[in-house]
Amino acid sequence: ATPMAVMVGTGRGARAGVLVKHAEALQALERVDTLVVDKTGTLTEGKPKLIAIEVLGAVEENRLLALAAAVEAHSEHPLAHAIVTAAAERGLPTGTVADFQSHTGSGVSARVDGHAVTVGNARQMEQAGADPAALEARAAPHRQAGAGVMFIAIDGKAAGLLAVADPLRPSAAGALAALRRDGLRLVMLTGDSRATAEAVATAAGGLDEVRAGLHPDDKAQIIAELRAGGAKVAMAGDGINDAPALAAADVGLAMGGGTDVAIESAGITLVRGDLGAIVRARRLAEATMTNIR
Ligand code: ADP
Ligand code: MG
């Protein structure tokens, strides 16, 4: 194997929109039979926008949003950004925040103006002592439309929900279709709810398997299991929560514009966040390896 051929390959890669960290990554990509993708920020643009607010009980819509935004101002999650932006657009006042806590993969909590406020998924509501059942019922139609839903508890009581829309990346469906034609098995792993995950998968043209409600550690575990079962796995992701899974795959594909941790954990970066670059990178890998052999 001449290192020269690989260098040619990686140089062409930059023009194809892929940044290859080392030759092994390109070789591994040629051999993969399974592509695992994260949902938020990988299949979708990862720039969610608030589209609906629903309140339970007496709290006012703007009060709910302001309390949630006060907590989320301390989080770097894309969902947090959607809430903070929406509150700012409405000119809502931000409260005084103390005791902020981030619960990776499930939500955030803090005291705002003396109230205990929690924003996150059903698991996080239970942690806060709130019953998510009524919120789950109100969330269903939003999720079926592909929106992500965050629940809010105030002083241990379910208080309402915020729904956010996060459009698919324009390249997602076409890239997945091309990879399926190449014979790859397509799997989605997400921390989001099953209903939202299924709706997004359908919009992307369908995947072979959808695993939802996952904790960040679960993603790496599932990759390890797939590999133990004999699969050759590429994992595409963008977030801090994807870093262990990117490192656990035969080849990690980080979305350009994603977090630095994801990029550091991956062998290949899709520079423009374009999933179509995976297809181009595989063609490049084939050509490069043919040159070597
Ligand atoms: P994903 O796999 O969809 O990128 P994460 O693993 O980061 O998501 O989070 C899983 C779920 O936990 C989210 O869908 C959301 O319901 C909840 N969550 C995580 N972080 C936050 C946050 N800062 N604010 C509200 N909810 C959050
Ligand atoms: Mg993500």
Which of 43, 75, 106 for mutating ligand 1's site (highest number of atoms within 8 Å of CB)?
106
The protein residue with its alpha carbon nearest to ligand 1, atom 27, reads: 107
Rounded Cα–Cα distance for residues 262 and 37 (Å)? 13
Residue 45 structure tokens = 């643009």
Q: How far is the CA of 285 from the centre of ligand 1 (A)?
A: 34
The CATH T-level fold of domain 49-165 is Calcium-transporting ATPase, cytoplasmic domain N (3.40.1110)
Q: How far is the CA of 293 from the centre of ligand 1 (A)?
A: 45
The CATH T-level fold of domain 3-45+167-292 is Rossmann fold (3.40.50)
Q: How far is the CA of 122 from the centre of ligand 1 (A)?
A: 11
Rounded Cα–Cα distance for residues 72 and 88 (Å)? 12
Span 71-75, average pLDDT: 97
Count CA atoms closer than 13 A to 37's CA, side-chain side.
Answer: 30
Q: Which ligand is located closest to the Cα atom of residue 125?
A: 1
Span 123-149, average pLDDT: 97
CA 238 to chain centre: 7
Percent of the chain topping pLDDT 70: 95
Residue 104's pLDDT is 85
Q: Are 266 and 252 in contact (CB under 8 A)?
A: yes
Q: What is the ipTM of this complex?
A: 0.95
Rounded Cα–Cα distance for residues 293 and 286 (Å)? 11
121 lines ligand 1 (CB under 6 A): yes
Q: Are 48 and 163 in contact (CB under 8 A)?
A: no
- What amino acid positions are annotated as catalytic residues? 38
CB atoms within 10 A of CB 173: 16
Span 200-214, average pLDDT: 96
- DSSP count for the chain of H helices, then E strands: 12, 13
Q: Which ligand is located closest to the Cα atom of residue 262?
A: 2
46 lines ligand 1 (CB under 6 A): no
The yes-or-no verdict on residue 185 having pLDDT over 80 is yes
The yes-or-no verdict on residue 10 having pLDDT over 70 is no
Between the CA of residue 291 and those of 17, 206, 209, 251, 288, what are the distances in Å? 21, 35, 35, 21, 5
- Which residue, 162, 98, 161, 157, is CA-closest to 129? 157
Helix (H) / strand (E) containing 116 = strand 115-120
The yes-or-no verdict on residue 241 having pLDDT over 90 is no
Residue type, 248: A
Residue 70's pLDDT is 98
Angle at 280 between CA 277 and CA 286, to 5 degrees: 140
pLDDT band at 8 (very low <50, low <70, confident <90, very high): low
Span 268-293, average pLDDT: 83
pLDDT in tens, 149-176: 999 999 999 999 999 999 999 999 999 9
Q: Which ligand is located closest to the Cα atom of residue 189?
A: 1
Q: Are strands 34-38 and 97-103 parallel, antiparallel or unpaired?
A: unpaired
- Which residue, 43, 24, 61, is CA-closest to 205? 43
The yes-or-no verdict on residue 261 having pLDDT over 80 is yes
Sign of torsion over alpha carbons 40, 44, 46, 49: negative
Residue-level length of the chain: 293
Span 117-138, average pLDDT: 97
What ranges do the domains of the chain cover?
A: 3-45+167-292, 49-165
Q: How far is the CA of 10 from the centre of ligand 1 (A)?
A: 34
More confident residue, 104 or 167: 167
The protein residue with its alpha carbon nearest to ligand 1, atom 1, reads: 191
Residue 68's pLDDT is 98
Angle at 113 between CA 110 and CA 118, to 5 degrees: 30
> In sequence order, which residues have a C-beta less than 8 Å from that of residue 92 and are 6 or more positions away?
62, 65, 66, 69
Rounded Cα–Cα distance for residues 90 and 157 (Å)? 25
Question: Which of left, alpha, beta for 44 (phi over 0: left; psi -120 to 50: alpha)?
Answer: beta
75 lines ligand 1 (CB under 6 A): yes
